[in-house]
Amino acid sequence: MADTIYISQLVSGKDPVEALRALAGQFPGEIVFSTSFGWEDQVISHMIFANHIPIKVFTLETGRLFPETYYVWNRTMEIYGQPIHAYYPDNNRLEHMVNAKGPNSFYESVDNRKECCAIRKIEPLHRALAGNQCWITGIRAEQSPNREDMSNVEWDEGNQLIKFHPVFNFSLDDVKAYIKQYNIPYNTLHDKGFPSIGCLPCTRAVQPGEDFRAGRWWWEDQSKKECGLHAAVTLNDLKE
C-alpha cells in the first residue's frame, strides 16, 4: 500500500500542475488519469497535455455517450496531439445483459442500473487501473454531499492504489475561469443545464434549484447518485 500521508505531504502546498508533476515522478509509468470529458476533466487534461506531464489519459467508452461527448473527445486529441486510451465493456457480459433484459433495463430497478454501470464502467475501469499505483480524477468537493468529507488524496481499497483529485478545492466558477483562460474545449451540454454528463439515457439537464447531480439517474432516490466508480468496488462485486 502506498503511503497516503507521504503522498499528501508530497502534493501539499503545490498548485495542481506542480502536484501532477510530482506524482508522475513518484509513480513513473504507473499513474493514469480517467476522463469523461466534463468541465473538470478537460481542465486536468489540459494540465497534463499542455505541460507534457507523463500521465496516461484514458476514458471509459460505454457505448451510450452523447454525440457532444464524442466531439469533445476528438477535438481534445486534435488540439493536443496526444492519445486518449479507450476502454470498452466486456463483450460477453454486455451481450448477456442486453439479450436477457433489453437495452434499457436500467430504468426498471436500481439493481439493474448498477448492473449496467458495473458492466459498462466498473469492469473496464479495473482493467484500465490494473498495474498502476496512482489514479488521477476530476472529483471536486462541492459536487455532491458525500464528497465534501473526502480528501484530495485517498487510498482506494477496491483498486489498491492512491487517488489524487487535483481540482478538489476548485469551485465551479474556478473551473469555468480556467477553461476560459486557456481556451480549453468543453462539452456544450454544460451550457444547456448539464453540470454532470454521463451516458445519454441516464443524464438530463438540471432544473433551477435542483441538486448538482439531480440530472443523473433522475428516476432514482436522491441518495443513490453514484455509479460505483469511486466506491470500494472489487471485481467480485460485479454480476456474472
Which residues belong to the active site?
Answer: 227
Return the bridge partners of 136, or none: 33, 164
Distance CA 190, CA 220 (A): 22
Give residue 67's identity as a one-letter amino acid code.
P
Note the pLDDT of residue 235. Answer: 42
Residue 92's Cβ-count burial label (10 Å; 0-12, 13-18, 19+) is exposed
For 58, phi then psi, to 5°, come to: -135, 165
pLDDT category of residue 36 using cuts at 50, 70 and 90 = very high
For 5, phi then psi, to 5°, come to: -65, -45
User: What pLDDT digit, counting tens, does each position of 181-197 carry?
Assistant: 999 999 999 999 999 89
Of the given ranges (32-36, 54-58, 212-216, 229-233), which has the lowest mean pLDDT?
229-233
Strand order in the sheet with 56-60: 85-87, 56-60, 31-34, 134-136, 161-164, 153-156
Alpha-carbon separation of residue 99 from 64, 104, 121 (angstroms): 17, 11, 19
pLDDT category of residue 237 using cuts at 50, 70 and 90 = very low
Q: What mean pLDDT is predicted for residues 115-136?
A: 97
Single out the residue of 173, 150, 147, 134 nearest to residue 54, CA to CA: 134
Distance CA 205, CA 198 (A): 11
Q: What mean pLDDT is predicted for residues 30-57?
A: 98
User: What pLDDT digit, counting tens, does each position of 131-141 carry?
Assistant: 999 999 999 98
